[in-house]
Every structure is written in C-alpha cells, then in structure tokens.
Amino acid sequence: MMDLRGAVVLGGAHGALALARSLGPSGVPVFHVTDDSRLPGSSRHVKRQIGWPGPHDEGAIPFLLKAAEDQGWQGDLLVPAGDAEVELVSRHIDRLAGSYTVCLPPWDALRWLCDKPLLYQRAAELGIATPRTYEPPGDAPLEGFDLEFPVILKPNMGGGDTAFSKAKVIRVDDRTALDEAYKHAAAEIGADNVVVQELIPGGGEHQFSYAALWENGKPVAEFTARRTRQYPVDFGYTSTFVEIVEEPGVVEAARTILASISHHGLVEVEFKRDQRDDSLRLLDVNPRPWSWFGLCSAAGVDLGTMLWRLANDRPNAPAAATPGTAWMYLARDAVAATSLMARRDIGLGGYLRSFGRVRAWATFARSDPRPGLIDLPLTGWRVLTRRILKAGHQT
C-alpha cells in the first residue's frame, strides 16, 4: 500500500490541535476543516485551514467529496474531531471511502457508543454499571415523576447545534428547576432526545478515562487517566487537569463495551467511581481526539502517530504510559482550583505542586507557541458572539 499523503482533520479544537502536533513533526501535512474553532489552524503544524458549511449542512458530504479533488486530498486520512463530525463521517463512510481513508466503524455499529440510551442499553446487557437514568414520559408533564435530586440533563448525542446541546450538561436541584430546564431542552431537541440522569456524587478525582487506539475489534495501545480536576468541578463538561493512573477495572469495562461493536480507531471511554458502592459507572464514549489528547504523546503513547501508522498498514510497537504524567488547561484549571480551594477540597500547596507533573498543555507548546497566545482572545470572542450577542439579539 502506498503511504497516505496527508491528514484532513474535521472540526474539533484542542483535540484537533494536539493531533496536528502529533502528526506535523513527522512530516505529515495536516489540513483543518472547520465551521467553528479556528484554534487548530493557528498551529505551525497545520498547513492550511479551510472553512465549510459544517456537519449539519445538507451539502456537507458533497463539500468533502469536492474538496478531496480540489485540494488534492484523494486518499488522505480523514479524522473527524468533533461529535457531529464523527456522526457525519460514520453515517456516510461508504461514500467517503472512495475519496478518503477513514478509521472509524460504520454508523449502524458506532451509534451504540454515541447514542447514550443505546450505550446504556448495551452496557446493561454486558453487565457494565451506568448512572441511574430516568425515562421521562415524553412530552407529558414531569409532575409526579419519581426521581431523586440532584439530577443532570444532557442530550442523547453530542455535536448538536442548539443551546442545550452546546451546554452539554445541565444540573438541576429541585422540581421547579427540572420542569423549566426539561421544557426548554425538549423544545430544542425533542423530548425523546433528552437524557435525565442521577448525578454521581464526587468531583473529577473520581472520574477516569480509558484512552486507546483499536484495530478491528482489538486494542493496539491503551492507557487510563484520572480527570483530577474539571470544570464545573462536580460534573465537568471539560477537563482541566488530567494525569496518568493505573485503573485495571476501567480497562476491563472499556474493552468489553468496545469489543461489542468491533471498534476501529481512536476512542476515549469515561467512567466515574460511585463512592456509595465503589462501582465504576460508564458515562460516555468519544470515538475521536478528545480535549486532553496531547497527554498521549507526552506520556509515551502517541496515539496520533499510531493512528497514522495504522492507516498506512504499518505495525505499531507496544507502548506504556508513564504514571503521574499530567496535562493541564491552565486558564480553566485556575478557575476549577479556586472553586476547590474555596471548599477546602485542595490546598494552595497541593495545587502548585501539581504543576510539577505537567508535561502537556491544552494550548501552550514551546515549539508551537501561537495557539497558546491566541487561545484566550479566541475564547473571549466565542463567548461574546455565541452568548452575549445572541442573547441581546433575542431580547
């Protein structure tokens, strides 16, 4: 097989940036296609960034097929780096396979990992614990619906373009708040697509991830990490400080759920340890580069390079992650740590000592400084245009 020429990364932000930093130093031309974050395109390892209508546009697939011809991407590795992009590529993998190389299962298999009700159904069949998930009565009122607070609301799949989907998860602590949040969420994405779930107690120190590259139903490389700090601190939708730890139970459960669909490609599987019974409960599966993907190469398991070798039919040497190696998103971690210190869950000394374990940053890199310099202005602009300006327009 002739080596692939380049890699086309579709969507994403910090995970896409980390993938570019993994592939670029090896001489792989990386191209970023986005309708959202411009952060990856600021990297010296991204040869070109191209805008497009986005994964929800009806012309998304024709755009990608035409781009393969116009940009000279025929046969290149196509890596979806966002949830909506994953669904798009997986659903249309047969059409895209004529123009790109794709390391991802078809949607009839992958949907069992991406659609949360299906994921929890499959987990139950395999004997894997999950948080208690309630089944609201469709469009009927929630009055009298039996549940225990606090609970969280989240969309059945990531990658939506509504306000609720972009929020990812909403915590509610009483019946009034639930009724209001559920009404708005159901109006945006449909009642059948709203997941109401118990909030497992504890913060990120109880949340673990399995990170891996799989080939046709078997792991090529794998390791586990702890989401030691996150934001918000109790049910974080984003990691802020992640470190390598050994958790055999996480590996066993993740292997079981991934083998059930014969997974192929990159994947992160999230769990939380329930202190009430010491069980590991499956939360989510991300078959794409995730936010702390940069920790992989820093810890000695460069999943980005391994993905490239897999796509080129080259063998990958065994690799083991170095325990204690950490990744940090500095700006957000400072906010998370401040919240934890206010609650006396962490001391200033402990927070400062955690910096000594950091070997990878969300945006900063000495060899690629520009993303770190523009991340804060970009984040501020996105908050302004997405939330403040939109809210003003609606009023």
Residues 294, 248, single domain; the answer is yes
Domain termination residue (choose one: 198, 227, 252): 198
Q: Are residues 45 and 102 in the same domain?
A: yes
**81, two tokens:** 């780096």
| Residue at 91 is within a domain | yes
Which domain-ending residue is among 112, 145, 176? 112
Q: How confident is the model at residue 161 (pLDDT cuts 50, 70, 90)?
A: confident
Write down the mean pLDDT value for the chain: 92
Question: Greater confidence, 250 or 395?
Answer: 250
**Domain encompassing residue 156:** 132-198
Phi/psi of residue 211, nearest 5 degrees: -115, 135
Mark whether 188 and 228 lie in a shared domain: no
Residues 227, 346: one domain? yes
Where is average pLDDT lowest: 146-155, 238-247, 312-321?
A: 146-155
For the chain, what's the residue count?
395
Average pLDDT over residues 214-235: 94
307, pLDDT greater than 60: yes
Residues 303 and 346 in one domain: yes
Q: Which residue has the higher pLDDT, 162 or 4?
A: 162
State the number of CA atoms in the 13 A half-sphere of 74 facing the CB: 5
CB 128 within 8 A of CB 119: no
Tell me the pLDDT band of 253, cut-offs 50, 70 and 90: very high
Band of the pLDDT at 378, cuts 50, 70, 90? confident
pLDDT of residue 389: 45
Pick the closest to residue 18 from 293, 252, 316, 354 (CA basis).
293
Q: Average pLDDT of 337-362?
A: 96
**What residue has token string 């490609």?**
265
Select from 94, 115, 217 the least CA-distant residue to 158. Answer: 115
- For residue 3, what is the DSSP state? P
Domain match, 162 and 45 both? no
pLDDT level of residue 48 (50, 70, 90 thresholds) = very high
Identify the pLDDT of residue 166.
84
For residue 392, what pLDDT band results from cuts at 50, 70 and 90? very low
Say what the pLDDT of residue 370 is: 96
Q: Where residue 237 falls among pLDDT bands split at 50, 70, 90?
A: confident
Q: Are residues 144 and 58 in the same domain?
A: no
Name the residue with higher pLDDT: 283 or 387: 283
356 token code pair: 């000594």
CA distance 264 to 256: 14
Write out pLDDT tens, residues 51-81. Answer: 999 999 999 999 999 999 999 999 999 999 9
Q: Is the pLDDT of residue 289 over 50?
A: yes
Residues 101 and 180 in one domain: no
pLDDT at 197: 94
- Residue 199 phi, psi (nearest 5): -95, 110
Task: Judge if 23 and 99 occupy the same domain.
Answer: yes
> Has residue 183 been placed in a domain?
yes
> For residue 51, what is the DSSP state?
E
pLDDT, position 235 = 75
- The answer to whether position 25 is within a domain reads yes
Q: Do 227 and 333 belong to one domain?
A: yes
| Percentage of the residues of the chain whose pLDDT score is greater than 90 | 82
For position 160, which CATH number holds?
Answer: 3.30.1490
Question: Do the domain assignments include residue 284?
Answer: yes
CATH assignment at residue 41 = 3.40.50.20
Q: What is the mean pLDDT of residues 237-249?
A: 95
* pLDDT of amino acid 391: 44
- Asked if residue 217 has pLDDT above 60, the reply is yes
* C-alpha to C-alpha distance for 46 and 8, rounded to whole angstroms: 10
Q: Are 18 and 152 members of one domain?
A: no
Let me know whether 220 and 75 are in one domain.
no
Q: Which residue has the higher pLDDT, 136 or 154?
A: 154
Assess if residue 380 is contained within a domain. no
Residues above pLDDT 70, as percent of the chain = 92
How many CB atoms lie under 10 A from the CB of residue 332? 20
Asked whether residue 371 is domain-assigned, the answer is no
Average pLDDT score over residue span 317-340: 95
* Structure confidence at residue 122 (pLDDT): 98
Return the pLDDT at 393: 41
Q: pLDDT at position 273, please?
A: 97
- Please report the pLDDT score of residue 249 as a whole number: 97
> Exposed, middle or buried, 148 (CB in 10 Å: 0-12/13-18/19+)?
exposed
Looking at the structure of the chain, the number of domains it has is: 3
Which of 153, 182, 198 corresponds to the end of one domain? Answer: 198
The number of C-alpha atoms within 13 Å of 41 and in the hemisphere containing its C-beta is 14
What's the farthest any 2 CA atoms get from each other in the chain? 63
In a domain, 373, yes or no: no
- Residue 391 inside a domain? The answer is no
Residues 303/293, Cβ–Cβ less than 8 Å:
yes
CATH number, domain of 353, equals: 3.30.470.20
Q: Which two tokens stand for residue 278?
A: 């010491």
pLDDT reported for residue 377: 79
> What is the average per-residue pLDDT within 245-256?
98
Query: Is the pLDDT confidence value at 384 over 90?
Result: no
